[in-house]
Structure 1
Amino acid sequence: MDEGFDVGARLRQLRQERGLSQRELAKRAKVTNSSISLIEQNSVSPSVSSLKKILDALPVSISAFFAGDEHSQPRPFYKASELTEIGDGVLSWRLVAARRPDRRMSVLHERYPPGADSGDEMLEHDGEEGGVVVEGEIEITVNGEVALLRAGDAYYFDSRLPHRFRNVGDRECVIVSANTPPSFSDGGEELHHG
């Protein structure tokens, strides 16, 4: 997660604003009580899929979670250091313009180290997504169809189809992707392709 961002404090704030105990949030998110406690204490960094499950139970979008209470004026350019890390410590997903109000799409700079995987569970959510492999290779499964994409190759699909991303190569894979509705959207609750 973003080093300058206090994930634990933000989760605690949102949980308390909704009047939920750690136990109740854990029950709704189908995670253990200790998971919520450890995340709020910043003792563990949640995987993207775990954080998504917890935020869906609030419900709060990933975008709103990382934007916090900040509102900034829209601007056209962002330095690499200004991208918001929403990865899980293994996968790196750096979101462009995370704090931009009324953002209608998500643009991500994604890094998958060798062996990295978006998760055992196939992902499904409203919207469309696409991307271009910049370096390395990635195995993408969409609705049972599997392809190995290399630098220069691209993908575009309906995100409601079950999908998964895996780096089966021996070097890092870098992808620049976009999805709409913005980042992690599923009927108003936000998800991402992994």
Structure 2
Amino acid sequence: MLTEKPLVASGVNQLDQLLGGLRIGDNVVWYDNAGSLAPVFYLNFIKISQSEKKSIIYINFDHSIKTLMERLGTLSDYDKLTILDCFTFGKGDGAEIFLKFYEEDESKKACKIITIDEPRNADHVTGAFYGLHKTMKGDVRFIFDSLTGMQELWGGEEQIQKFYSHSCPRLYELNTVAYWVVEKEAHSQRLKANINKIAQVAIELSLKRGKTFLSVIKAEKRNIEIFNESFCYWNKGLDINIDFEKRTQTQLDLGTRLKEIRSKRGFSQTELAKLIGVTSSTISQIESNQIYPSLPALIKIAETLSVKISSFFGELDTVSEQVVFSPSKATGIQFSNSAKGVINGKTLMPLELDSGVKACLINIPPKTSISSHFFIYKGDEVGYVLSGRLQFKLKNKMHTAKAGDLIYLTTEVPTQWRNPYTETAALLWLNIK
């Protein structure tokens, strides 16, 4: 009979109350929407781990060692803390200014710093921290700062997916507790969905109108009822206070609604900004409720996203009561980069409809080839070939589908679509949540 793994403190009492505590084996993903919110949480985790005399491995990709030492402060004066420096010969490119740190006398610091000379080699990095783990006893604590930094250095999401999907189960079996920092907007929906699927705990941190918020989006085997509910929190130094009384939904949460609609339409912040005639920073500030758009700008945004202005304020009109939809309600599709301008299509249901299915009509012209899937999507997908023929590559194998054939995709997506024939191929495509 399986026994429940022991509880572990996060170092933030109110977070432990919210989650029911961490457990040995947990992989905890921190989605940092602002890029600067996660440190106070992993610093508290380092602090509590030190008080319990636990070994800690900090894998650093994003910060110079000097900067990291300043961030850690007195926490670096701990002989069971080992830092794997993947920055100096990674993003730092072995520059003299970063190597200078090692020329100075750092003997006053009790922590160990190991320089990784080949941080662009994922296997080399993995071998380094697993080899180090073998020398340690008990439930070792890991901090991965950050998956986003690893992706920038390793050259893409495929490598990150491979690394993460192998490392998390192994760390779980080794009875570690691992914190993973991720910049949410820097990754595709599909990768984030796979990350969430494997992790035991996933927490989102965001910044809105100068206030910070925390939301638990996954907590495996916890009997809690606060998933996806945001709580305002604030910190002074390492002291964190989470407000359980006040909910974050303000009377006017236009930013969240805009982000939801933009994501459904498949636009990035940069793409929407170009169409509106503003900077991507402006869109980011609107979505985080730091600023509100002018009425002319809001009208322009609504026109670009093919929705009514009322959609930004939560009004769905009577669309949820409809069962028949006119073709006049169909809007254009925002395809993946390789498919833009090559194929065409439209959604067959209004964007405002909160449905578990997104229905699209996609046309692939003759003599056309695209080097990726149509969408970045995390759910099951079903395609019905209405007319014509086409080919697609899945797991390095080419498949051919003709009129009347059904295509069903789950976790894998095609890496190529081709229509080498003389007739346009038409697909009815369903994305299923």
Deviation at 1:149, TM superposition (A): 0.9
- Alignment of 1:161 with 2:161, yes or no, is no
CA–CA distance in 1 between the matches of 2:409 and 2:391?
15
**2:282 aligns with one of 8, 16, 19:** 16
How many residues are matched? 132
Tell me: CA distance 1:157–1:121, structure 2 relative to 1, closer, same or farther (3 Å): closer
Q: CA deviation at 1:129?
A: 0.7
Q: Does 1:100 align with 2:347?
A: no
Counterpart residue identity of residue 16, structure 1: T
CA separation in 1, counterparts of 2:393 and 2:277? 32
Determine which structure has greater relative contact order: mean sequence separation of CA pairs < 8 Å that are 6+ residues apart, divided by chain length.
Answer: 1
Structure with the greater alpha carbon radius of gyration: 2
Deviations 1:70-107 (A, max 9, x none): 34422222222321111544311211223223222111
Alignment partner of 2:282: what SS? Answer: helix
Cα distance in 2 between the residues matched to 1:66 and 1:128: 25
Structure 1, residues 111-162: CA drift from partner, whole Å, max 9, x if none?
1101233x3246764211111111110102222222111111111121x313
Structure 2 partner of 1:120: 371
Instruction: Give runs of ≥4 in structure 1 deviating > 6 Å.
Output: none
Question: Is 1:141 matched with 2:393?
Answer: yes
Residues 13 and 77 of structure 1: CA distance in aligned 2, closer, same or farther (over 3 Å): farther
Is 1:179 the equivalent of 2:426? no
Q: CA RMSD in A?
A: 3.2
Q: Which sections of structure 1, spanning at least 5 residues, go unmatched?
A: 2-6, 21-64, 182-194
Q: Is the Cα–Cα contact under 8 Å of residues 107 and 178 in structure 1 kept in the other structure?
A: yes
Alpha-carbon deviations, 1:159-194, whole Å to 9, x = none? x3131322121110011111112xxxxxxxxxxxxx
**Unmatched runs of 5 consecutive residues or more in structure 2:** 1-264, 266-271, 287-304, 335-339
Q: In the alignment, is residue 78 of structure 1 matched against residue 325 of structure 2? A: yes
**TM, length-normalised to structure 1:** 0.56
Question: Judging changes above 3 Å, is the alpha-carbon distance between structure 1 residues 97 and 112 closer, same or farther for their aligned structure 2 residues?
Answer: same
Give me the identity figure in percent.
Answer: 15
Contact kept, 8 Å, 1:138 with 1:167, in 2: the verdict is yes
SS in 2 for 1:18: helix
| Residue matched to 2:422 | 170
Q: Post-superposition shift, 1:13?
A: 7.6
State the alpha-carbon separation in 1 of the partners of residues 275 and 425 from structure 2: 32
Residue in 1 aligned with 2:4?
Answer: none
Say whether the 8 Å CA contact 2:372–2:417 is kept in structure 1. Answer: no
Query: Aligned with 1:133: secondary structure?
Result: strand
Distance in structure 1 (CA, Å) of the matches to 2:364 and 2:317: 30
Q: 1 or 2, which has the higher helix percentage?
A: 2
Kindly indicate whether the alpha-carbon contact (under 8 Å) linking 1:124 and 1:162 is maintained by their aligned counterparts in 2.
Answer: no
The alpha-carbon distance between structure 1 residues 141 and 129, as it changes in their structure 2 partners (threshold 3 A), is: same
